[in-house]
Amino acid sequence: MTDVSVSSVGVSYGRTEILSQVSLSVGDGRWMGIIGPNGAGKSTLLRAIVGSVPYRGSITLGDIEIGSEDAKSMGRRIAYVPQRPVYPPGMSVFDFVLLGRTPHLGLLAAEREEDIAIVWDSLQSLSISGFAERDVASLSGGETQRVSLARVLAQQAPVVVLDEATASLDVAAQHEVLELIAQIQHEQGVTIVSAIHDLTAAAQFCDELTLLDRGQVVAMGNPEGVLDEAILASVFEPTIRVIEIEGSRVVVSLRSQGSSHGK
């Protein structure tokens, strides 16, 4: 059972407070979407959860406090894809996905046959086994996201943290990647925490949402509750509208009347 619990977490860079008193919890096997405007502290929160930044307060995975374990044990508990992952030029897709096996290997041990098999399975389940030998730096945006997800799969961690997995993708590619994440969530039963900038997509894929603004939690709960016009308007802009199409919430921003020159 791996739920994620964040309680009263604060993060500062020097004197600047990035997060303050952030608390949230994600149930085992659930997908928590972190939403909010640019600079709200979404990425910082995710980096705190994976143990990359020092924080005050407490973050636990199941009953394990982050930072109480060594990096290798943490690597087996939590997998992370940063906003802009590094794709080393010249490295093959297969080798890149194989990096996900690092926390399962002895420090100086070579990969075993079973690791190769796991990597191969991960590639196949994301339909990218066809370019296993290609240079990871030569792939398109959608392909690199699949490769990063394949590495997450190969890492076999019960908690997955994704920072803007679909930024810079077109609508179709974004949808495809989110479906793949949902597939991983349901097939592997993993807990997912992801920052997501597209509120409509967040409404459709996430089980729960946390709305951050200026380092603080503004709203938290199911998408229906959080994606409220009044709440969003207070955080984003007053002209935001939430409409419902075929049972899904769609968030749009209208051009304000005053700035329109056509009327």
Partner 1 sequence: MNAGRPSGLRLPWWWIAGATLLLLVTVIAGAMIGPASISPWGIISSTLSRIPFLNVESSLDTRADDIVWQIRMPRVVLGVLVGSMLSVAGSAYQGVFRNPLADPYLLGAGAGAGLGATLAIAYGPDASGWFIDPLPLAAFIGAIVGVALAYVLGYTVRSGRTAVTLILAGVAVAAFLTALQTFLQQRESDTLREVYGWILGSLTTAGWSEVRLVLPYVVGCSVVLVAFRRLLDVMSVGDSEASTLGLHPSRIRLLLIGFATLGTAAVVAVSGLIGFVGIIVPHTVRLMTSASYRVIVPLSLLIGGSFLVLADIVARTVQSPTEIPIGVVTALVGAPFFAVVLRRSKGIVS
Residues that bind partner 1 (CB under 8 A): 47, 50-52, 71-76, 78-80, 82, 85-92, 94-95, 98-100, 102-103, 105, 107-108, 110-111, 116, 120, 129-130, 132-133, 135, 137, 155
**d(Cα 252, Cα 223) in Å, to the nearest integer?**
15
Name the minimum Å distance from CB 169 to partner 1: 20
Name the minimum Å distance from CB 82 to partner 1: 6
Q: Which C-beta is closer to partner 1: that of 112 or that of 241?
A: 112
Q: Which C-beta is closer to partner 1: that of 68 or that of 248?
A: 68
Name the minimum Å distance from CB 10 to partner 1: 19
Q: Residue type for 199, please?
A: L
For residues 208 and 224, the answer to whether their CB atoms sit within 8 Å is no
Q: Report the DSSP pairing between strands 4-13 and 56-61.
A: antiparallel
Q: Which C-beta is closer to partner 1: that of 86 or that of 243?
A: 86
Helix axis angle for 141-155 and 113-125, nearest 10°, is: 140
Name the minimum Å distance from CB 36 to partner 1: 21
Name the minimum Å distance from CB 71 to partner 1: 5
Q: Which C-beta is closer to partner 1: that of 88 or that of 225?
A: 88
Q: Which C-beta is closer to partner 1: that of 71 or that of 245?
A: 71
For residues 161 and 50, the answer to whether their CB atoms sit within 8 Å is yes
CA distances from 104 to 49, 76, 98, 115, 157 (A): 20, 7, 11, 9, 10
**d(Cα 129, Cα 151) in Å, to the nearest integer?**
13
Name the minimum Å distance from CB 157 to partner 1: 9
Q: Which C-beta is closer to partner 1: that of 89 or that of 262?
A: 89
